[in-house]
Amino acid sequence: MQIAPHPDWLRSFAKVAERGGFTAAAESLSLSQPAVHAHVKKLSEALGVTLYKRNGSAIVLTESGRVVAAYANDQEQRTSALRAQLAERVEHEPVVLATGEGALLYLLGPALKRFDGRVRLLLRNAEGCRDALQTGAAHLAVYPERRRPGLTRRRLTATRPVLAMRREHPFANRERIRLETLGDEAFIVPTRGPLRAQLDARLTPRVRVEASGWPTILHLVSLGLGVAVVNDFCRMPRGVIARPIIGLPAVEYSLVRRSGAPTHGETLAEKIVSQVSDPLD
């Protein structure tokens, strides 16, 4: 039973034919000479033909060898043309960026404004951003991510949790607020996310309203429905102030992509890094 020729075998034989010997071919391919010999031998066995004969130290292609060398070069040229075509096609496809509403509004605006290409946004929570990367639905994502197999991340910035409250709140005159003093407060909390998880683990807050999205949560704070823990990058609406909280760790935002995925969106990635990264990172 004959075996279909492997592209590496064809590539090695084409280079032997071009360079006139195994040593020069091996150097050109950055392979060992025995490896090139093995490729050509397997190609000859797979096709069932003799590809070359020796005339002293010289390599002389047989008629079959010339046909196979031409075929190998044609295949290499077609592959190169296909790669170029796909690269051009990918370059003109929109970059799909998954991120949360807060990161989009408060972190990524300048980077997106300065990006000349097309962007398609997927607004997702952290879990949704991760799923979009892992399934290939997004090229890039910006969200809080820990180290996870199959994903590579580049740290952008750390945001500190702050307490958002109306200006007339009794705690408004404090420079900082300790988490343990907030046990009696009515909270407006996100339905899920890193800050919600930290708040539940460290305080078990008295929840008055669950809402999605920092703008909605802060609007409810401005209406006097309660206080909220938000990231320090959020812009406070009129009548609302924010104070740092002692007792909650910072939340790190990262630029994340799937390991081994095609590197589409590099220009946008660099824009994000230059606009969002902390100066010392």
Category of 80 on φ-ψ map: left (φ > 0), alpha (ψ -120 to 50) or beta: alpha
Backbone φ and ψ of 184, nearest 5°: -95, 0
Question: Hey, what are 15's tokens?
Answer: 């280079």
| Structure confidence at residue 89 (pLDDT) | 58
DSSP code of residue 192: S
Asked whether the predicted pLDDT for residue 85 surpasses 70, the reply is no
Least confident piece of the model among 64-78, 177-191, 199-213, 230-244: 64-78
Using DSSP, state whether 24 is helix, strand or coil: helix
Residue 39 vs residue 276, higher pLDDT: 39
* Distance between CA atoms of residues 98 and 159, nearest Å: 19
What is the C-alpha to C-alpha distance for residues 89 and 143, in angstroms, rounded to an integer? Answer: 28
pLDDT at 52: 93
List the beta bridge partners of residue 230: 162
Q: Domain 161-249: which topology? A: D-Maltodextrin-Binding Protein; domain 2 (3.40.190)
Confidence of residue 12 (pLDDT cuts 50, 70, 90): very high
> Measured on CA atoms in the order 183, 186, 192, 195, is the torsion positive or negative?
negative
Q: Which string of DSSP letters, residue by residue, matches 214-278? A: HHHHHHHHHTTS-BEEEETTSPPPTTEEEEEEETS--EEEEEEEETT---TTHHHHHHHHHHHS-
Taking a C-beta distance cutoff of 8 angstroms, is the pair 133, 254 a contact? no
Q: What is the mean pLDDT of the chain?
A: 87
**Residue 280 reports pLDDT greater than 60:** no
Cβ–Cβ < 8 Å for 166, 228: no
The CATH number assigned to the domain with range 95-158+252-276 reads 3.40.190.10
Which is it for strands 161-166 and 228-231: parallel, antiparallel or unpaired? antiparallel
Distances (CA, A) of 221 to 20, 81, 169, 171, 175: 78, 58, 11, 14, 19
3-state class percentages of the chain: helix first, strand second, coil last, to nearest 5: 45, 25, 30
- The residues near 118 (Cβ < 8 Å, ≥ 6 apart) are 93, 94, 95
% of residues, the chain, pLDDT over 90:
46
**Residue ranges of domains in the chain:** 7-88, 95-158+252-276, 161-249
Beta-bridged to residue 178, according to DSSP, are: 246
Mean pLDDT, residues 219-226: 96
Summarised one tens digit per residue, pLDDT across range 136-160 is 888 899 999 888 888 999 999 999 9
User: Pairing state of beta strands 140-143 and 95-99?
Assistant: parallel
User: Which CATH class, in words, describes the domain spanning 7-88?
Assistant: mainly alpha
Same topology, domains 95-158+252-276 and 161-249? Answer is yes
Residues whose CB is less than 8 angstroms from the CB of residue 92 and which lie 6 or more positions away in sequence, other chains included = none
Burial class (CB in 10 A: 0-12, 13-18, 19+), 253: buried
Query: Is 0.75 surpassed by the pTM of this model?
Result: no
Question: What's the gap between Cα 90 and its chain centre?
Answer: 16
